Chain A
Amino acid sequence: MYDEGCYYDTHDPNPFGEGGDVAGANSSGLTPLMSAISTGNSNNSLEENLRLASFSLEELSNHHHNTEAAAGMNFEEMNTHLMQDVLHDPDHISGMDMDQKGWSTGLHDMQGINSQQAQQFHHLNHDAAGQQIELQPNPFNASYAPTPTPDLLNLLHLPRCSVASMLPDSNIHLYDQSLHLNQLPPQQTPIFKELFHSLPHNYGLPCSRGGPSFFGGMDEREAGNGSVYQDGEGRQLFDNSVLDFSNMSGLGKRSEGKGTNHFATERQRREQLNDKYKSLRLLVPHPSKSDRASVVGDAIEYIKELLRTVEELKMLVDKKRYGRERKKLKTEDDAAGDMESSSIKPISTLADREQSNGAKRTTWLQRKSKDTEVDVRIIDDEVTIKLIQRKKINCLLSVSKILDELQLDLLHVSGGIIGDFYSFLFNSKIYENSSIYASAIAEKLIESVDKSYAAFHPGNF
């Protein structure tokens, strides 16, 4: 029944770079196949299905390099590649909805069919194993003639591949059915856990209940337990197979009976995620609300601010380092010249330098403390500071002190008491060779204002 004439020369792998074309070929060949499958596959002979499905394996093997290490990597790239194709191009999936719900039902249909095919594949693989040209842990080493197959089928097989390739030390060839996943030494299990968690849950596969069931499902089929499989419904298959899978030592938590321990793993996963959100929150200077959206929002703003600060500091360092040297040269030239002109020239050389760099310094950041908010903007050498203070103290004094310390020339001040707040705007100019930067200004301001507040109202702290 299997046409053995279609051996494919596995030693002629196409470089992965041609994946794009192949995908294109896939898509063109895909549609008729897909429609065939989705419109009631039971009418087709198993043989036809087999051949059709087998072509995909062939196609996939095109994408694999010969190195063991690379195989896993490339396969994973292929995973994403194919998955993207499948997900993003609704034309491929004629007759299937692209939203999650439709996706799952479509897959259900597919799986009933594909399981059969998979089953057959394995038998064939067994037979062909001896005859095949050995290509490293590549489960699709079957020698079939090339033709694209439904990418969904490949999707189903994907986890098997990643399992094999991610266990560098194991001798598992996935088509070697005698070596079960069960027999892995316990040290391997952390990797499995990782795999589970990294499974694309959001593809709405029926095993959205959790990774283990999915693996278990594959496992079952691989074991060739015909009885289990012939439960018919793909879902039930998964349910039963979870039992086997949970026998793996150390994987998840044990539970009685059917062993669907998804609560525990899911809870663990949720807790880990929450912890991550918390630690992200800790990194940000002043986190306000502690809900997820705000944490992420604060992180985004903080990253942008850090990028601006880095730019600013880089520019300052450059300016400092090289501006001085140029200036010294200049003043030496003008030694005989007028006092005024020599004081003006350095300004222009520095300005030229900045402009030849293509940028004037621009920074902006905000800092908040319990009662004070400071907004510092620097354009070139002018600083604009906005200050809002919740309790009424004479912050003008402390601010003016700081500004003097930092050598900022006050150009303009305005503001006053508005309701419960003091609100002020300061415009000042940076002294020419000062290398003050925005965050220093902001931090000093906040520090001193808070200090003077504490001094004034010691009781309220």
Chain B
Amino acid sequence: MERNHGTRGRRNDKDTEFKSKNLFVERKRRQKNHDMLVTLRALVPNITNVITLLKKATIIDDAMTYITGLKNRVKDLTDQLAEIEAIFEKDEEHEIKDDITHEIEKCNIENEVKVTQIDKSDLCVKIICQSKTGIFRKLMETIRDQGLEVTDMNFTNSKGVNLVVFSVEVTQAKMVASKQVKRYLQELIRSYLDTN
């Protein structure tokens, strides 16, 4: 196999063409395999036996032990982290901040919802509102409840103000009037922002 490295092509000196048209591809493939193994070897720090350092089998064995070692380490660290989390959890609850909301109140931006019909079953919605955690999720829920499916989404949060521009497609058979959607969304925003 690989021992015949150079012989396949050189057998007949008279022919200048190689006997096997696949030779280059094969060689390249073997070279790639070899290079991969060498990279793997370079990456793995544990060495079981210096003599068999470059043996395919050793490389793979060392890599396997290293990977399992790393996995265990990750597991340990995650457990540690969970432990620490548990201990300190009580202190954390009141920490949820909204530094950003302070700035909004200075801006006086009004909440706004605009809905336009693009196609017979496509709507484009634009919302400007105050930012609050979980509002995106609420938005998505409403869209789903309305039987709409998002085709395009753009959501930005700048200094506590949300600008959401998205297009939706009406997936279900019923005709959904843009005004209806608009109303729903406005209602949603108002309720969400007011209650929280």
* Contact status A277-B60, CB under 8 Å: yes
| Distance in Å: Cβ of A286 to nearest Cβ of chain B | 14
- Residues in A whose Cβ lies below 8 Å from that of B151: 416-417
Instruction: Give the dominant DSSP class at A's interface.
Output: helix
Tell me the residues in window 119-144 of chain B with beta carbons closer than 8 Å to chain A beta carbons: 133-134, 136-137, 140-141, 143-144
* Contact status A303-B29, CB under 8 Å: no
Distance A77 CA – B136 CA, assembled complex (angstroms): 65
* Contact status A397-B141, CB under 8 Å: yes
Distance A79 CA – B78 CA, assembled complex (angstroms): 44
Distance A273 CA – B36 CA, assembled complex (angstroms): 16
Tell me the residues in window 406-426 of chain A with beta carbons closer than 8 Å to chain B beta carbons: 407, 409-417, 424
* Contact status A276-B43, CB under 8 Å: no
Q: Among the listed B39, B143, B149, B155, which residue makes an inter-chain contact with A410, where contact means beta carbons less than 8 Å apart? A: B155
* Contact status A283-B64, CB under 8 Å: yes
- Residues in A whose Cβ lies below 8 Å from that of B51: 76, 79-80, 198
Tell me the residues in window 394-411 of chain A with beta carbons closer than 8 Å to chain B beta carbons: 394, 396-397, 400-401, 403-404, 407, 409-411
- Residues in A whose Cβ lies below 8 Å from that of B36: 292-293, 296-297, 300
* Contact status A415-B153, CB under 8 Å: yes
- Residues in B whose Cβ lies below 8 Å from that of A292: 33, 36
Tell me the residues in window 184-217 of chain A with beta carbons closer than 8 Å to chain B beta carbons: 197-198, 208
Stretch at the interface among A220-228, A250-258, A315-323: A315-323
* Contact status A432-B88, CB under 8 Å: no
Distance A397 CA – B149 CA, assembled complex (angstroms): 11
* Contact status B84-A280, CB under 8 Å: no
Q: Does B154 contact A (CB under 8 A)?
A: yes
Q: Does A167 contact B (CB under 8 A)?
A: no
Stretch at the interface among A14-22, A120-128, A304-312, A369-377: A304-312
- Residues in B whose Cβ lies below 8 Å from that of A300: 36, 39-40, 43
Q: Does B55 contact A (CB under 8 A)?
A: yes
| Distance in Å: Cβ of A103 to nearest Cβ of chain B | 11
Distance A45 CA – B137 CA, assembled complex (angstroms): 93
Q: Does A8 contact B (CB under 8 A)?
A: no
Distance A297 CA – B78 CA, assembled complex (angstroms): 26
Indicate whether A299 sits within 8 Å of B63 (C-beta atoms), given known contacts A307-B70, A414-B155.
yes
- Residues in A whose Cβ lies below 8 Å from that of B6: 99-101
* Contact status A320-B140, CB under 8 Å: no
Indicate whether A296 sits within 8 Å of B40 (C-beta atoms), given known contacts A198-B51, A321-B84.
yes
- Residues in A whose Cβ lies below 8 Å from that of B49: 198
Q: Among the listed B67, B140, B149, which residue makes an inter-chain contact with A302, where contact means beta carbons less than 8 Å apart? A: B67
Distance A277 CA – B40 CA, assembled complex (angstroms): 13
Tell me the residues in window 37-87 of chain B with beta carbons closer than 8 Å to chain A beta carbons: 37, 39-40, 43-44, 49-52, 55-57, 60-61, 63-64, 66-68, 70-71, 73-74, 77-78, 80-81, 84-85
| Distance in Å: Cβ of B143 to nearest Cβ of chain A | 8
- Residues in A whose Cβ lies below 8 Å from that of B136: 400, 403, 410, 413
| Distance in Å: Cβ of B156 to nearest Cβ of chain A | 5
- Residues in B whose Cβ lies below 8 Å from that of A397: 137, 140-141, 143-144
Q: Among the listed A279, A392, A401, A437, which residue makes an inter-chain contact with B81, where contact means beta carbons less than 8 Å apart? A: A437
* Contact status B97-A324, CB under 8 Å: no
* Contact status B99-A433, CB under 8 Å: no
* Contact status B77-A313, CB under 8 Å: yes
Q: Does A431 contact B (CB under 8 A)?
A: yes
Q: Does B110 contact A (CB under 8 A)?
A: no
Q: Does A343 contact B (CB under 8 A)?
A: yes
- Residues in B whose Cβ lies below 8 Å from that of A403: 136-137
* Contact status A296-B37, CB under 8 Å: yes
* Contact status B84-A320, CB under 8 Å: yes
| Closest B residue, CB atoms, query A101 | B6
- Residues in A whose Cβ lies below 8 Å from that of B44: 303
Q: Among the listed A198, A279, A321, A433, which residue makes an inter-chain contact with B64, where contact means beta carbons less than 8 Å apart? A: A279
Q: Does A435 contact B (CB under 8 A)?
A: yes
Q: Does B96 contact A (CB under 8 A)?
A: yes
Distance A394 CA – B151 CA, assembled complex (angstroms): 10
Indicate whether A317 sits within 8 Å of B144 (C-beta atoms), given known contacts A299-B63, A307-B70, A410-B157.
no
Q: Does A272 contact B (CB under 8 A)?
A: yes
Tell me the residues in window 305-345 of chain A with beta carbons closer than 8 Å to chain B beta carbons: 306-307, 309-310, 313-314, 316-317, 320-321, 324, 343
Distance A410 CA – B138 CA, assembled complex (angstroms): 13
* Contact status B81-A276, CB under 8 Å: no
Distance A435 CA – B6 CA, assembled complex (angstroms): 57
| Distance in Å: Cβ of B58 to nearest Cβ of chain A | 9
Indicate whether A310 sits within 8 Å of B68 (C-beta atoms), given known contacts A101-B6, A404-B134, A437-B81.
no
In addition to A303-B66, A343-B99, 13 A-B residue pairs with Cβ atoms within 8 Å of each other are A77-B50, A101-B5, A198-B49, A272-B57, A276-B57, A279-B64, A280-B67, A283-B67, A283-B68, A283-B71, A300-B36, A306-B71, A324-B91
Q: Can you list 5 pairs linking A and B with CB atoms under 8 Å apart? A: A280-B64, A306-B71, A400-B140, A416-B150, A424-B153
8 nearest interchain CB pairs? A313-B77, A416-B152, A413-B155, A400-B137, A306-B70, A296-B36, A397-B140, A276-B60
